[in-house]
Amino acid sequence: MKEINIDSFFKKAVNYLEKTINNKDIKSELRDSFGEEYLLDYINKSIDLIIFNENSYLENKYKITINILNQSNNIGNYILYLDSEGEFIDEFLVWQ
């Protein structure tokens, strides 16, 4: 596998996350859960190379995980899958 630029992968993940968070339905859900003054922060958690996955389309892809916090409380995770070129494969937003 080609060597990746970790910083650029985390930046891509945050860009995708912010696009997702700015979705009208998600913004409404955040306001309902945390009030009008919610303030999100992101923590880069990990980048993993997926060697095997039951979903074969995710094999040999990078899994980038970002913790989502509101006022220092972990409220969820954003998981982004990219190929070795940094191209989008799939994404998941998981609330806790």
Q: Where are the domains of the chain?
A: 6-95
pLDDT for res 40:
95
Torsion of CA 34, 32, 11, 65, to 10 degrees: 80
The pTM of this model reads 0.90
Contact 95, 76 (CB under 8 A): yes
Contact 51, 39 (CB under 8 A): no
63-81: per-residue pLDDT in tens? 999 999 999 999 999 999 9
- Among 82, 86, 76, which Cα is nearest to 45's? 76
